[in-house]
Each structure stands twice: as structure tokens, then as C-alpha cells.
């Protein structure tokens, strides 16, 4: 049993924290939303008054917050994690943020005699509940081994991607590619149908060529091709992840023109009012412009 602290008890963090608690760890929690804290306390967690108080009570301090500024806010200041972190403890950052922020925080954490591991997660809120998330982990091997039993409470697909920041870098490139595939599949299917091709003909041919991809094989038939645009993975989160990836790419002095186009397409979806719809709503954007619907044939 370990003393675990958890900061950020939202859609993902709430069920993740609950899974840590279920495996018998002592859990201290904090969130700016008192209702989120009360729900975990009802399940046996201990409420703390600040991120600093969470850190003072914990060997492993987890953050699962919306964005990098939120993580910085929870980490710094008189009431922040860094002010309470015990020497020898580990700061486990699991939000989707940029790798530069985690590397910068890790330098400060290490200067205090503690260590940091990043482990953003893949998959969805349902997987957070079932404890079957994909874990993209970055950090020193010894620190990673120490947090492994805690990570195993929350996820089943474990990938040690490299040193600190490698988990966040992996999440950035993965989600930029996955979202780019949604954007390009959407425009191709709508354009093909406008050109007189059926969905069956297009997918039949594409399965035999280098055009085939997992979004066409799995993602599209699950929701958008059924006309289901409810999240799923919200467009606003896909936009955020593409923005983080583009920042990472720019910070390395590289360019990513296709990634930039994907970010612009996501912005088009946000402007159309689809922020909380599934990322597959990018198909609806192209359908509306083409004046058609690309749908799986419904069986009689």
C-alpha cells in the first residue's frame, strides 16, 4: 500500500482516483470543485485543503488537470505541490500537456530531492472507469518502476517511451496523427461521394491500397458513419492536443504543414459550435458543405 495524492478529479481523474483507492492505497485528494472532492471522500479518500497539503501526505502525487497552465498553477506557489513535496517522493503528471512543461517541472522537482514521471493516457472516459487506459510513460527507469503499481491500477497498456517528457511527446504526436486521419478521411469520403462513388466502393478499394487506416477501419464505422456525433472524444480536446503537438513541433524548429491544416480544420469545427461533439463531427462539416451524408448501409 502506498500513500497516493490525486489532484484533478474530473471526467478522467475521478474514476482513475477511484481505481487507485479500490486497490487499497491510501488516497488524499484535491480539486477546485468541492463536489468532485466530496464524491471521492464518500468512497474513502481523504480531502486536503491544497495541492501542497496533498503532497505533504503522499509518496506519489498525481495530477490529472485540463491543460499545462493548470498543472503549473497546482505545482507552484505557496500552496502548490512543490511547496509540500517530500524528499524521495514522485510527482506523476498524467494530464495531456506539452513535454517542455513536464521537463521544466522535473528539473525543479529533482532539485528538491524528489523525481517526476509523466504518463498521459490514451482511450476514453469509459476506459478510465474500467481501469484499462493506455499509459504513455516518460521518466527515469527507477522512478517509473516505483510508480508502476499505481499506474497498473489505472491502465492496462503500458509503454515506457523514454526519459521525462517522452510520454507527453508520444501523446502529442499520436493525437496529431489520429486527428489528421479523421480530418482527411472526412474530406475524402465526402469528395468521393460527391464524385459519384458509394461508401462501399470507396472502402472496398481503399482496404486493398495504402489509403486504408485504423480510423476508417474502426473509428468511422463506430460513430460518424452511423450519423452519431456524440462524444466519444470531444472535438475541443482533439483541438487542444493538436495545438500542443504543433507547439512542440515549432519549439524544435520544425514545421508541420499538414498538422497546421488539421488544427485549422478543428478550429473550423469549434467555430461551427461543435466543441463538445465527437471529433468525428469533422465528417459532418464536410457533409454539410457537400450537401450529402456518408453513411453505412442500414441492413433491412
Among candidate residues 96, 115, 55, 66, the one with its CA nearest the CA of residue 178: 96
Give, as ranges, the residues between 238 and 297 that touch ligand NAD (CB under 6 A): 240
- Pick one of 233, 248, 259, 280: the residue that binds ligand NAD (CB under 6 A): 233
Q: What DSSP assignment string belongs to 199-217?
A: HHHHHHHHTTSTT--HIII
Q: Is 91 in the site for ligand NAD (CB under 6 A)?
A: no
Residues in the chain: 300
Q: Please, what is the minimum distance in Å from the beta carbon of residue 212 to ligand NAD? A: 25
Smallest distance from ligand NAD to CB 81, Å = 10
Which residues, including other chains, have CB under 8 Å from residue 35's CB and lie 6 or more apart? none
Nearest Cα neighbor of 97 from 288, 244, 300 is 244
* Choice from 50, 56, 58, 95 touching ligand NAD (CB under 6 A): 95
Smallest distance from ligand NAD to CB 259, Å: 17
d(CA 109, CA 104): 9
> Rounded to the nearest whole angstrom, what is the least distance from the CB of residue 32 to ligand NAD in the complex?
4
Show the site string, 176-215: x = touches ligand NAD by CB under 6 A, - = not.
----------------------------------------
- For residue 64 the three cell numbers come to 490529472
Interface with ligand NAD, residue 102, by CB under 6 A: no
Joined grid coordinates for residue 10 = 474530473
Instruction: Compute the distance between CA of residue 56 and CA of residue 48 in angstroms, rounded to an integer.
Output: 10
72 is a contact residue toward ligand NAD (CB under 6 A): no
Sole binder of ligand NAD in the list 96, 213, 215, 262 (CB under 6 A): 96
CB 259 within 8 A of CB 204: no
Question: Which triple of cell numbers denotes residue 252?
Answer: 524544435
Binding interface with ligand NAD (CB under 6 A): 7-13, 30-33, 36, 64-66, 70, 73-74, 95-96, 121, 124-125, 233, 237, 240
Amino acid at each position: 500500500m502506498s500513500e497516493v495524492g490525486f489532484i484533478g478529479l474530473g471526467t478522467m481523474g475521478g474514476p482513475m482516483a477511484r481505481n487507485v483507492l479500490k486497490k487499497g492505497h491510501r488516497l488524499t485528494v484535491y480539486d477546485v470543485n468541492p463536489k468532485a472532492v466530496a464524491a471521492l471522500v464518500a468512497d474513502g479518500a481523504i480531502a486536503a485543503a491544497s495541492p501542497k497539503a496533498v503532497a505533504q501526505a503522499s509518496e506519489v502525487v498525481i495530477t490529472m488537470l485540463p491543460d499545462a497552465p493548470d498543472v503549473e498553477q497546482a505545482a507552484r506557489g505557496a500552496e502548490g505541490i512543490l511547496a509540500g513535496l517530500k524528499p524521495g517522493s514522485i510527482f506523476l503528471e498524467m494530464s495531456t500537456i506539452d513535454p517542455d512543461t513536464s521537463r521544466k517541472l522535473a528539473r525543479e522537482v529533482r532539485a528538491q530531492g524528489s523525481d517526476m514521471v509523466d504518463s498521459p493516457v490514451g482511450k476514453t472516459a469509459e476506459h478510465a472507469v474500467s481501469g484499462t487506459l493506455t499509459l504513455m510513460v516518460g521518466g527515469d527507469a527507477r522512478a517509473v518502476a516505483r510508480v508502476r503499481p499505481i499506474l497498473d491500477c489505472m491502465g492496462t497498456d503500458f509503454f515506457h517511451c523514454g526519459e521525462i517528457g517522452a510520454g507527453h511527446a508520444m501523446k502529442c504526436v499520436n493525437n496529431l496523427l489520429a486527428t489528421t486521419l479523421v480530418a482527411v478521411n472526412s474530406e475524402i469520403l465526402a469528395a468521393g461521394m460527391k464524385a459519384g462513388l458509394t461508401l462501399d466502393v470507396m472502402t472496398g478499394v481503399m482496404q486493398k491500397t495504402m489509403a486504408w487506416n485504423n480510423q476508417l477501419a474502426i473509428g468511422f464505422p463506430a460513430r460518424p458513419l452511423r450519423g452519431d456525433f456524440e462524444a466519444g472524444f470531444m472535438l475541443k480536446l482533439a483541438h487542444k492536443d493538436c495545438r500542443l503537438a504543433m507547439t512542440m513541433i515549432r519549439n524544435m524548429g520544425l514545421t508541420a504543414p499538414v498538422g497546421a491544416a488539421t488544427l485549422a480544420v478543428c478550429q473550423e469545427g469549434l467555430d461551427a459550435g461543435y466543441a463538445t461533439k465527437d471529433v468525428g463531427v469533422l465528417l459532418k462539416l464536410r457533409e454539410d458543405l457537400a450537401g450529402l451524408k456518408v453513411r453505412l448501409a442500414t441492413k433491412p
